Structure 1
């Protein structure tokens, strides 16, 4: 079965990818975060064709991640500014940045470093639970059905839980060796 519209899928990851999963989209968001806002600037920065950039910008505006603001009247030209929804992608981009530095730098070189503005020390981003402020990792999280889960999703989650419990038991679920 071929899926063309991820926005209707029950998985939040699939829906998010429906908004920003195409790689040009995240690079456009990255550039917008860095203050590159005009079509010609984006085209030059990204090395993207004008037709591809135009399509991606329409999608990002339609998704509510960017807003168009005129900066010239004759002819009318626009710059693209991040919305609150677009700015909410920043932590995700930080994590991608960190992951790319750790695992996708072919020769281990680092041309740019992300630092804390206050002390200019390199940052080490982590994901934490807002409620408890504890770091979240593969070993410390678990998926359960949400309040609106339908039977197919409940069945899928039960399979996921069984797999995780078998392969990655939580410390209190560990089987004692005899």
Structure 2
């Protein structure tokens, strides 16, 4: 692989994962297959935006959407192998965040501003 080929691939991966709420949706699905309502209730995101992000992740081959022919119809989302391969990336970002990122409204070393 030429080193020039890395930049577009890295850029595309950052574009995918860096979209608002996408990383947290993947993080939520690392727990296993879930219905839309469970994902929606676990994140402070609108149903419309969640639906949009899940469709994008499905088109990228990261999320699998399964429809079960029951009454009422049951739809479940899970990570594909490609999506599960992101677990180490998501976990490393989580560790990095815990060490280096302060919660909003906090000053240095977690001290709230006066």
TM superposition score category, shorter chain reference: 0.7 to 0.9
- State whether structure 2 residue 94 is matched by structure 1 residue 97: yes
Q: Secondary structure at the match of 1:11?
A: helix
Q: Residues 112-149 of structure 1: CA distance to partner in whole angstroms, max 9, x if unpaired?
A: xxxxxxxxxxxxxxxxxxxxxxxxxxxxxxxxxxxxxx
Alignment match of 2:67 (pick from 57, 65, 70): 70
Unmatched tracts of structure 1, length 5 or more? 1-8, 109-178
Q: CA RMSD in A?
A: 2.1
Aligned counterpart, 1:50: 47
Unmatched tracts of structure 2, length 5 or more? 1-5, 104-109
Runs of 4 or more off by more than 6 Å in structure 1? none
- 1:125-144 mapped onto 2 (5 Å cutoff): none
Alignment: residue pair count: 100
Q: Residues 62-96 of structure 1: CA distance to partner in whole angstroms, max 9, x if unpaired?
A: 11001012346223231111101001111111111
Please identify which structure carries the higher helix content: 2
- State whether structure 2 residue 35 is matched by structure 1 residue 38: yes
Q: Residues 30-88 of structure 1: CA distance to partner in whole angstroms, max 9, x if unpaired?
A: 00002361100011000211100110010011110010123462232311111010011
Q: Which protein has the larger Cα radius of gyration, Structure 1 or Structure 2?
A: 1
Q: Residues 2-40 of structure 1: CA distance to partner in whole angstroms, max 9, x if unpaired?
A: xxxxxxx95222110232220311111000002361100
Aligned counterpart, 2:11: 14
Residues 101 and 39 (structure 1), Cα distance of their counterparts in 2 relative to 1, 3 Å cut: same
- CA distance, structure 1, for counterparts of residue 26 and residue 66 of structure 2: 16
* TM-score, length-scaled by structure 1: 0.51
- CA distance, structure 2, for counterparts of residue 62 and residue 102 of structure 1: 33
